[in-house]
Amino acid sequence: MHRILVTGGAGFIGNHLCRRLLREGNRVVCLDDLFTGSLENLRDLRDDPNFTFIEGSVIEPWDLDVDQIYNLACPASPPHYQSDPVRTVKTSFLGALNMLELARKRGATILQTSTSEVYGEPQVHPQPETYRGNVSPIGIRACYDEGKRVAETLFFDYHRQYGVDIRVVRIFNTYGPSMNPLDGRVVSNFIMQALRGEDITIYGDGSQTRCFCYVRDTVEALVRMMNTPGFTGPVNLGNPLEITVGELAERVVCMTGSASRVVFRDLPSDDPTRRRPDISLARERLGWEPRVPLEEGLRETIAYYRGLIARGE
């Protein structure tokens, strides 16, 4: 049994991770300020004697008796992280600093969930971990992109200078049940619009590509990474199956049986046109690759959103 802290544990990936860790017999503390997370995601966990929820922010220092830390705290969708960019930067930088100090004090292993956004608008495709990125430090997405980049810097400096046992993963697009239907991500947008019979909104001409990894696969990779001694990363976690945004919209319309039509809007500033992970390192060091096909994952995600609509949520 480990004593594990999950920051951002009331969020999308975080609540799935908390469940996985509890099923394995661990004691889990979830720290979340509920800026984008939701207590509804944790409703069925609150009576578990091995689960503790603390409402609070990683921007502040914490002293908790833990031996593993998963640092997921940070808004991850553009509408959320751009709504308060200063808070986003502070969460990335100060959050990483405070959690690293906690790990240093307690001798804990700490995992940072970084992002594919550290690669920016990539000039190398697919993106290996050795690629250093093409990121604007002054663009509207920089609060998130550069915040995650400086967090990685802190992690490796704490590792080199203080010997903190770190893990760094770079998560590519992840989707699945409990994803906020209003978070502005392409999968949730398309499914909710289709189920409501609204226009499917594509920004740009739909030719930009993304790769979608089901949340269960992502959580599996996080747990494997945490429990692989001596491997700091960074390591890409994502599904290398590339699909255009236009193709995704067509698939969602077909799978929902929707009569929605597709409409096009201007592409937002700094939005990358291609994104695909090279997961050779994850295969080699973690023995991991995605297992859930896109159609299966979309089916489960659509069912989740149908349930929300049926309940009027």
Q: What is the pLDDT of residue 79?
A: 85
Residue 141 gets which letter from DSSP?
T
Low-confidence residues of the chain: pLDDT under 70:
269-271
Q: What is the pLDDT of residue 113?
A: 98
- Whether 144 sits among the annotated catalytic residues: the reply is yes
Q: Which of 144, 158, 175, 305 is catalytic?
A: 144
**pLDDT single digits (tens) 8-31:** 999 999 999 999 999 999 999 999
CATH class of 3-310: alpha beta
Cα distance between residue 5 and residue 190, in whole Å? 33
| Torsional sign, CA 160, 164, 169, 170 | negative
Q: What is the pLDDT of residue 269?
A: 67
Looking from the CA of 24 toward its CB, the CA atoms found within 13 Å total: 17
Entry pTM: 0.94
- Residue 95, class by beta-carbon neighbours within 10 Å (0-12 exposed, 13-18 middle, 19+ buried)? buried
Q: What is the pLDDT of residue 271?
A: 67
Q: What is the pLDDT of residue 183?
A: 84
**pLDDT single digits (tens) 198-220:** 999 998 888 988 999 999 999 99
SS3 114: strand
Which residue, chain included where needed, has tokens 């600093």?
A: 97
Contact 51, 6 (CB under 8 A): no
Cα distance between residue 54 and residue 91, in whole Å? 17
CA distances from 125 to 40, 228, 240 (A): 38, 27, 11
Q: What is the pLDDT of residue 160?
A: 98
Report CA 153 to chain centroid distance, whole Å.
19
Residues 6+ apart with CB under 8 A from 239: 172, 173, 211, 212, 213, 214, 217, 277, 290, 294
